[in-house]
Amino acid sequence: MKALITGITGQDGSYLADFLLDQGYQVYGMVRRASTENFDRIAHIKNRITLVQADLLDELSLMGMLEQVRPDEIYNLAAMSFVPTSWSQPILTGEFTGIGVVRMLEAVRRVCPKSRFYQASSSEMFGKVREVPQTELTPFYPRSPYGVSKVYGHYITVNYRESYNLFAVSGILFNHESPRRGREFVTRKVTDGVARIKLGLARSISMGNIDSQRDWGFAGDYVQAMWRMLQQKTPDDFVIATGKAHSVRELLRVAFERVDLDWKDYVVVDPKLIRPAEVDQLLGDSSKARRVLKWKPSVTFEQLVHMMVEADMERVRQEIAQGALPDIRPATRSAGRKGKTSK
């Protein structure tokens, strides 16, 4: 079996590639041209996968890629995925994250209509939530240009399934994290910050809305759900979530406690990091996926945060060994440096 992953250099793409290789797939990854290669997350499998250059903005490149690969399964994970950037680059976000999906679907319809297609939809589509918890039937109310673009990607996938009989599915995934998460997302920003503070490379972390709540799972679990969706007899959409919500405050507490520090001594709330419109609370109901796909998460919130803190501690220790200079003494609980924290 041949699988093609767009966004293979991202967090999910790299975990999915690991998983599909273990299942015996030939794995192809779409990468866009850049002046400097950024393949860190797939460095460990670079000799086992084939990379093909194409871009979500360029329809002809997508068709050429599909003609070359002729995949059995396509996982469309590429997108501009950072919510705050979607306000400063709303048009580009719409092009990548929204219209990019229909470019992919058109290419599939014309070149390889028998391929199975997975679209990376998002809990951000629920935004200002209409009900708690959210299911496959909960109405959408996106709160950012990113969320609006994902709603387009979601419905165009449903529409191509219904219009052209494609095997096209959409996974509505809630937040999922890992040591490979980009450092601007809140979990990784916190665990990276904790490691830098503990080891003396930083004094504090600036945060935005620490009262917001998310349903956080482990990316390694979530990519398995993507694969299971493409193994079904009929195409359908599924919510993937843990069913447990935690606040950013809890994230801070659990991460700092792991290295025996009190988060209130190191966190500064910066109003500039508050979003123009916020999604305050997301909580997913993944009963359908648990029943039909036999999927369930295997990593708890605490385990996830500990895994990420430990990975960042290890990485920062290596940075120090390679010459990064601590500018302050390593932090201890008794020597806490007071940040200005809202209670």
Residues that bind ligand NDP (CB under 6 A): 6-7, 9-13, 32, 38, 55-57, 77-81, 96, 120, 122, 173, 175-176, 182
Question: What residues numbered 84-123 form the site for ligand GDR, per CB under 6 A?
Answer: 122-123
Catalytic residue among 15, 75, 118, 146: 146
208: partner contacted, choices ligand NDP, ligand GDR, none (Cβ within 5-8 A by kind): ligand GDR
Nearer to ligand NDP, 143 or 198 (CB): 143
- In whole angstroms, how close is the CB of 52 to ligand GDR at the nearest point? 23
212 binds ligand GDR (CB under 6 A): yes
**Cα first-last separation, the chain:** 54
CA 255 to each of CA 194, 205, 291, 310: distance values in angstroms, whole numbers, following the listed order: 7, 12, 33, 10
Rounded to the nearest 10 degrees, what angle do helices 301-321 and 186-198 cross at? 50
CB burial string 183-193: b at 16+ within 10 A, e below: eeebbbbbbbb
Segments of the chain assigned E as strands: 2-6, 26-31, 49-53, 73-76, 116-122, 167-173, 176-177, 205-207, 213-214, 217-218, 238-240, 246-247, 267-269
The interface partner of residue 72, options being ligand NDP, ligand GDR, none and the CB cut-off 5 to 8 Å by kind, is none
Question: Cα separation of 296 and 71, whole Å?
Answer: 27
Q: Each residue of 127-152: b (16+ CB within 10 Å) or e?
A: bebeeebbbeebebebbbbbbbbbbb
- Picking from 180, 264, 125, the residue whose alpha carbon sits closest to that of residue 11 is 180
Give the footprint of ligand GDR on residues 158-197 (CB under 6 A).
174-175, 184-186, 189
244: left (phi over 0), alpha (psi -120 to 50) or beta: beta
Pick between residue 78 and residue 107 the one whose CB is nearest to ligand NDP: 78
122 in active site: yes
* Amino acid at site 197: I
Among 159, 204, 209, 287, interactor with ligand GDR by CB under 6 A = 209
Q: Using the minimum distance from each CB to ligand NDP, give the nearer residue, 9 or 341.
A: 9
For the bound state, the minimum distance from the C-beta of residue 184 to ligand GDR, rounded and expressed in Å, comes to: 6
Greatest CA separation found in the chain?
65
Q: Is 124 a catalytic residue?
A: yes
Task: For ligand GDR, give the closer residue by CB, 273 or 320.
Answer: 273
**Residue matched to tokens 């059995």:** 72
Question: Using CA atoms, how far apart are residues 115 and 32, in angstroms rounded to an integer?
Answer: 22
Closest to ligand NDP by CB, 205 vs 225, is 225
Q: Return the range that interacts with ligand GDR (CB under 6 A); candidates 54-62, 67-75, 209-217, 232-240.
A: 209-217
Shortest gap between Cβ of 16 and ligand NDP (angstroms)? 9
DSSP-based three-state secondary structure for 307? helix
Q: Residue 96 touches which of ligand GDR, ligand NDP, none (CB < 5 to 8 A by kind)?
A: ligand NDP
Q: Give the nearer residue to ligand NDP in terms of CB position, either 33 or 340.
A: 33
Site for ligand GDR, rule CB under 6 A: 81, 83, 122-124, 174-175, 184-186, 189, 207-210, 212, 214, 248, 273, 275, 278-279
